[in-house]
Amino acid sequence: METARARIIQFIEEQKIEPKKFLETTGLKKGFVDKSHINSSASDVYLSKILNSYPELSAEWLLTGKGDMLKSENSQIINEDRESYNEKEHLIPLFEDVPVKHRVYETLDIDAVQWVDAGNWFYGITAAMRYSGESMCEYPNKCILTLKEITDYEQIVWGENYCIETSEFRIVKRIQKAKQKENIIAYSSNPKTYPDGQLIYEPINIPQKKIQKLYKVLGYIVK
């Protein structure tokens, strides 16, 4: 399957953009446009930077390969001053949560429901997710959680809420260190129990090596 990174390289070549200029505009590192990495996945943080730097580029095409490379109204956008345009739009991916019983067939890079303009919702926001359920009492059902991707696990603040994605689920939980150093424990904040006293939302032991993406929850929005 063609990757988003491959489509980025295609965009650069067809639009005759100098790779050096592309890297300067997006703030990405040199290796990002190296064709030897063409089959590697691209973080949604990087994709967000690219879409914000090149607003004429279609998010749907970049993420899925469907539709046209450029937005139909790109002639108007290209004529705008790019810097002032980027001040008006801060595009981030909006995801759906995927309960433990389901399977995530794509990564967050491709699984975005849509891309939305986050404006100045929260400082550092890189993604958003519609939350549904009752396992986390602090979040209203159907609210939108604002997220910041964590790529360095040393930045984890234990006892805080995170969105965790593995190949089997995408969930929001409060995380703590596990007894096994290579694992984490994901807790729900809802203390409800069955009549026999057993927790309805039991803690989940997750091997760190199975975590594909990790996002810190910055807050939530209710529409």
Residue 183 counted as domain residue: no
Say whether pLDDT at 146 is over 80: yes
Question: How many angstroms separate the CA atoms of 191 and 115, rounded?
Answer: 34
Residue 194 counted as domain residue: no
Residue 77 counted as domain residue: yes
Say whether pLDDT at 205 is over 90: yes
User: In the chain, which ranges are continuous DSSP H helix?
Assistant: 4-14, 19-26, 44-53, 59-64, 74-79, 82-88
Whole-model pTM: value is 0.60
Residue 18 counted as domain residue: yes
Say whether pLDDT at 104 is over 60: no
Judge whether 217 and 193 are in contact, CB under 8 Å. Answer: no
Residue 53 counted as domain residue: yes
Residues 6+ apart with CB under 8 A from 162: 150, 156, 172, 173, 174, 175, 214, 215, 216, 217
Residue 109 counted as domain residue: no
Higher-confidence residue: 5 or 207? 207
Q: What is the pLDDT of residues 14-25, one digit of tens each?
A: 999 998 899 888
Residue 12 counted as domain residue: yes
Please state the domain count of the chain.
1
Q: What is the pLDDT of residues 24-83, one digit of tens each?
A: 888 888 788 888 777 777 776 777 778 878 888 887 788 778 888 887 654 344 434 444
* CATH code, domain carrying 67: 1.10.260
Q: Which domain holds residue 52?
A: 1-89
Question: In sequence order, what are the beta bridge partners of 94?
Answer: 114, 128
pLDDT attached to residue 161:
95
Higher-confidence residue: 98 or 95? 95
Backbone angles phi, psi at 78, to 5 degrees: -60, -35
pLDDT attached to residue 107:
38
Residue 27 counted as domain residue: yes
- pLDDT band for position 1 (cuts 50, 70, 90): low
Say whether pLDDT at 118 is over 90: no
Phi-psi region at 56: left, alpha or beta (left = phi > 0; alpha = psi -120 to 50): alpha
Say whether pLDDT at 183 is over 90: yes
